[in-house]
Structure 1
Amino acid sequence: MPENPRGIGPLSWRTLVDEALARRKEERMTQREHAALAGVSIPTIAAFERGEHTLTLAKAFDILRVVGLLDEPAEGGAQDRFVRESFDRWRTLTNDLPSDSPARFPNGSYRFDYCLEGDLKSFALTEFEHILNNAVTRHTGWPVFMMLTREDLAPREVGGAIEVWLPPEGDGIRRNILSDPAHCDFWRAVPSGRLFLIRGYQEDGQETFPPASVFDTTLPVWRMGEALLHAERLAGLMRKDPESQITVRFRALYTGLTGRLLRNWANPISELMFEGRPARSDEVLLETEVAAVDISSRLADILFPMVSAVYERFGVVGLTTNRIQAEVGRLLSSRMR
């Protein structure tokens, strides 16, 4: 073995893993929360904590980064840092709630984040809050990035961001109108055009079937579609001039899929009548990049590969753009006051 004149010893993988595990537990972070924050699967977190060497270096870095064990340049990954900060903020707000609280999404959740890139106007936080209010797209009764007016539920300025948290009823903090996972939203936005939202499943608040048993075929089209339309509208409100070209970088992370069955529940007249096997994968990460001005006109084409990837987790293949187009048509024609 060659001499080591620089005094750098070999990496002790087990020591590093043990420290990461200790830090996760000190922060009262579950494996599911760590996985979601790192953007990896729960089995990957479990393999890491067992000390397995089969992980890629990139995934190991993602896991170590969450617990502060990766020293890296500060300039890279502004959106990733924003997402981690937002997820940390959500964990802080929900940390003292019971583990089965709907606001902690014990059966899984979906998370959207997007950023706008291009020539954007600068706004103070108060101005930005008004812009966000005007950007809400009301195609459903509970749109993404919902802004309520009641004082205890209205958006707040926290740490240079506009923030909304809707906790469930009876937690002794504030009272939400509804108390199922689909209405316990947390979202956060900053004036640089970065947004984050996490929400539980509408399917998990029903009396006709138990939580964590069903995944609806149509809701991904409606929820991701509405989020992309929100990005399109916000880009229009934030661009410096009508000729400014704004790009939307959008991501969606669905977790808690394992064992769920694909069912056409929310919209019985939909053409999305697929039923596959129970999901064997717990999550799916979806990404797209699109010009903001193209979103409304190309929404079905944008959604098609992402919805297809969701269906594949349930063993369903053969989705056609025509079926997505039909559902997008219903979304675009729906208007809520």
Structure 2
Amino acid sequence: MSTPAGGISPLDWPGLVAEAVRRRKAEKMTQKEHAALAGVSIPTMIAFDRGEATLSLNKALDILRVVGLVAEAPTPASSQEAFVQAAFSRWRELTKDLPKDSPARFPAGWYRIDYALEGDHPAITPAKLRDALEQSVLRYTGWPLFLFMRRPELAPYEIDGEIECWLPPDDHLGIERNASDPAHCDFWRAASPGRLMSIRGYQEDAQDTFPAGSIFDTTLPIWRLGEAYMHAAKLTEVLGYDPQQTTVRLRVLYTGLSGREVRAWANPMSVDYFGGGRSRTDEAMLEGAATVQDLEDDLAGNLYPLISSLYERFGITGLSLDFVKSETQRMRLNRFHR
């Protein structure tokens, strides 16, 4: 067949799919890991592997981008995606030799939060970024996001010009820890001028009173995502960025949702049971964007669309804004922060 005018050949979809699968296997990446890196569901990943042409272009590009089959001009969004993929790959590398049931591999599921501070921000040195991150830790919860441990073997460190922290399970590499369950084996990474990613297991899965993977708390997501937004606002302040000209673009990916039932566990007296059941999907990807000033003025209003979308996966509709407001207020008054 002759080459069309312009010198561009027709898209070889079966060939692209085959090459993507080949590269994934060469990198010893599982289908589930590929889906997580691309931010797509497992069924979407399976459909891609079958060569189905019903996928949206955006999802197909996300899958191909993970294995280096998309050439595109860098944009803030694509740069953040590249950062998240590299950070996630780094976590896989750190945990690959652990037993499959190790708490640090989050066998019952995990959630990943990433955000980027978008604006006209100059690059900063790793040393300055590390100092700013240490000053930005917010203790709204007992185990804050992007936490700094004091022990040298657990403290954040510089690697490849970025700041990284991994809390391995107890007795790994001779490191002794008091907390070694999925909720306390964090991995996080940060890059200039304001890109962050954190991954950890569910607090609900660290209990002995019910099986891991069986429940999903009603209030913890509000606290965690609220804390992530507030961490971004604090980091903006510490770095001296303009809160009105800085946008926080936040995403969270929840995995391992299948079979979980919504339950008011963390604080049973905080809410009435508002209906719902088991998750209808195994994963949920949520995205939000707001200026730092807007977050400081109306945190609950910016959280509400994310939380509503999340609980729709469990059959919960009509979630009230007042509920989200009350939880954000309770978070900000928590004794850990005081």
Q: Which TM-score band applies after superposition, normalised by the shorter structure?
A: over 0.9
Under a length normalisation based on structure 1, what TM-score does the superposition of the two structures give?
A: 0.93
Partners of 1:85 and 1:39 in 2: how far apart? Answer: 14
Residue identity matched to 2:142: G
Alignment of 1:8-19 (within 5 A): 10-19=10-19
Residues 1:8 and 1:79: Cα distance change in structure 2 (over 3 Å) = closer
Alignment of 1:57-136 (within 5 A): 57-74=57-74, 77-120=78-121, 122-136=123-137
How far residue 22 of structure 1 moved from its aligned partner, in angstroms, is 2.7
Partners of 2:209 and 2:240 in 1: how far apart? Answer: 46
Residues 1:315 and 1:199: Cα distance change in structure 2 (over 3 Å) = same
Aligned-residue identity in percent? 53
How far residue 9 of structure 1 moved from its aligned partner, in angstroms, is 5.5
How far residue 17 of structure 1 moved from its aligned partner, in angstroms, is 2.1
Partners of 1:5 and 1:316 in 2: how far apart? Answer: 52
Partners of 2:4 and 2:54 in 1: how far apart? Answer: 30
Preserved contact between residue 181 and residue 204 of structure 1 (Cα < 8 Å) = yes
Unaligned 5+ runs, structure 1: none
Preserved contact between residue 94 and residue 104 of structure 1 (Cα < 8 Å) = yes
Q: Is 1:208 matched with 2:209?
A: yes
Alignment of 1:172-191 (within 5 A): 172=173, 174-191=175-192
Aligned to 2:3: 4
Partners of 2:174 and 2:70 in 1: how far apart? Answer: 35
Preserved contact between residue 118 and residue 244 of structure 1 (Cα < 8 Å) = no
Residues 1:296 and 1:177: Cα distance change in structure 2 (over 3 Å) = farther
Indicate the larger mover: 142-151 or 266-275: 266-275
Partners of 1:44 and 1:232 in 2: how far apart? Answer: 34
Under a length normalisation based on structure 2, what TM-score does the superposition of the two structures give?
A: 0.92
Q: Is 1:199 matched with 2:200?
A: yes
How far residue 146 of structure 1 moved from its aligned partner, in angstroms, is 0.7
Aligned-CA RMSD value:
2.0
C-alpha offsets along residues 283-305 of structure 1, whole Å, 9 cap, x if unaligned?
11111111212323311111111
- For these two proteins, the number of residue pairs brought into alignment is 335
Partners of 1:303 and 1:149 in 2: how far apart? Answer: 31
Alignment of 1:15-30 (within 5 A): 15-30=15-30
Aligned to 1:219: 220
Aligned to 1:163: 164
Unaligned 5+ runs, structure 2: none
Alignment of 1:234-253 (within 5 A): 234-240=235-241, 245-253=245-253
Aligned to 2:47: 47
Residue identity matched to 1:64: L
Residue identity matched to 2:198: L
